[in-house]
Structure 1
Amino acid sequence: MNTKTFVLKEKDIQRKTHLVDAKGQILGRLATRVATLLMGKHKPEYTPFLDCGDQVIVINARDIRVSGRKTKQKTYTHYTGYPGGIRIETLETLMAEKPTEAVFEAIRKMLPHTKLGDKILRHLRVYPGAEHGQAAQKPVLLEIPQK
C-alpha cells in the first residue's frame, strides 16, 4: 500500500482550452463556472498553490443577462489616484461602452486576490462578439445550462 501523498508538479500540468458562449447567460452563474475552470477545481489533481487550471475563452459578452434591476443599480468603482478622482459607473453604461469589462471583472473578483490569482487570470480571454482569434488552440465548446 502506497501512503505517499500525490503532489502535482508544474511539468505535469495538462491544460485544455474551453470556449464558453455567454449569450443569454446570467452574469454571476457564468462567472462562477469560468472561475472554477480557471483555478482547476474541476480536476482531481487540483493543487491550491499551483496554476493548474484550464484556459477559457468567453464569446458574446455583450449578450450577457443580469437579474432584477442590476443594470441600473450595480456600480463599478475606479480610483484614478488623484484627489477627487473616484469614478463610479453603472453596469448599464459599462455594457454600452466596454461589454467585455463587466464579464472580466465578475470573473476576476471570484479568483484569489494574490499573485497566483493574477497568473491564473492570464488564461482568460473575453470577446464581445462571436469572433475570436483563438482557433489555433482548438477550444472545446462548454455547455453551461441556463436556469
Structure 2
Amino acid sequence: MPSFLTPQTPWVKKEEVKRNWYLIDAKDKVLGRLASQLAYMLQGKHRADYSPHVDQGDFFVIINADKVKLTGKKLDQKTYWRHSGYMGGLKLETARELLQKKPEELILLAVKRMLPRNRMRNKLLKKIKVYAGEVHPHQAQNPQPMEF
C-alpha cells in the first residue's frame, strides 16, 4: 500500500511553534491554583496541536508575587526544606518566611513541583519570569494580560 494512502498523524515541529508572552498579576490569587494552571499552559496542553515531546508552551511574566495567597494555615504550617549534603545541613523555612524573603521562589517551586519530572522541566521553567513588584523588564516583548 502506498504511504500517501495511510493516515498519518501530523506532528508539530519546534520551528513551527509560535509562542506568545502573557502577563499575569498574582495579586490575591491562590498559589496552588495559579501554579497548576501555569504548569498546564507551560507544557502547551491548552493548544489543539499539543504533542508531549515538543516544547509548545508560552512565556509568562508574573508580577506581584509577594501578594499571592495561601489558603488555610499553610503560611505557618507548610515548610520548605533543602539540604546542603553535610551533616546537620538541613534548612527549614515556612511559607511565611519564604514569602517575605524570596516571594519569587515560592511561585517557582510550586510550578516546578507540578511539572513532570523529565528532561523538559528545566526548559519549561526558563519560560517563567517572576517578579515581586509590579515592575518587570519585559516591556519589549509586549506581554498580553491574562486573567485566570
Q: So what's the TM-score if we normalise by structure 1?
A: 0.94
Q: 1:2: how far off?
A: 7.3
Q: Which residue matches 2:25?
A: 21
Is it true that 1:57 corresponds to 2:57 in the alignment? no
Is it true that 1:101 corresponds to 2:120 in the alignment? no
Alpha carbons 1:20, 1:56 under 8 Å: kept:
yes
What is the distance in 2 between the residues matched to 1:85 and 1:66? 28
Q: Which residue matches 1:111?
A: 115
Q: Which residue matches 1:124?
A: 128
What is the distance in 1 between the residues matched to 2:124 and 2:55? 6
**Aligned residue pairs, count:** 144
Q: What RMSD in Å do the two structures reach over aligned CA positions?
A: 1.2
What is the distance in 2 between the residues matched to 1:29 and 1:15? 23
What is the distance in 1 between the residues matched to 2:141 and 2:38? 17
Q: 1:6: how far off?
A: 1.0
What is the distance in 1 between the residues matched to 2:56 and 2:29? 26
Q: Residues 85 and 139 (structure 1 numbering): CA distance in 2 closer, same or farther, change over 3 Å? A: same
Alpha carbons 1:62, 1:99 under 8 Å: kept:
yes
Q: Which residue matches 2:37?
A: 33
Q: Which amino acid aligns with 2:52?
A: P
Cα deviations by residue, 1:3-51 (Å, 9 ceiling, x for unpaired): 2111011111110011110000000011011111111010011111111
Cα deviations by residue, 1:85-104 (Å, 9 ceiling, x for unpaired): 11111001111111111111
Query: Runs of at least 4 residues of structure 1 off by over 2 A?
Result: none
What is the distance in 1 between the residues matched to 2:15 and 2:100? 42
Of 69, 72, 81, 2:73 maps to 69
Q: 1:114: how far off?
A: 1.6
Cα deviations by residue, 1:79-134 (Å, 9 ceiling, x for unpaired): 11111111111001111111111111001111121221111111010000110000
What is the distance in 2 between the residues matched to 1:37 and 1:141? 15
The answer for unaligned runs of 5 or more in structure 2 is none
Q: Using the aligned pairs only, state the percent identity.
A: 38
What is the distance in 1 between the residues matched to 2:71 and 2:17? 37
Is it true that 1:8 corresponds to 2:23 in the alignment? no
What is the distance in 2 between the residues matched to 1:12 and 1:143? 26
Q: Which of the two has higher C-alpha Rg?
A: 2
What is the distance in 2 between the residues matched to 1:5 and 1:99? 43
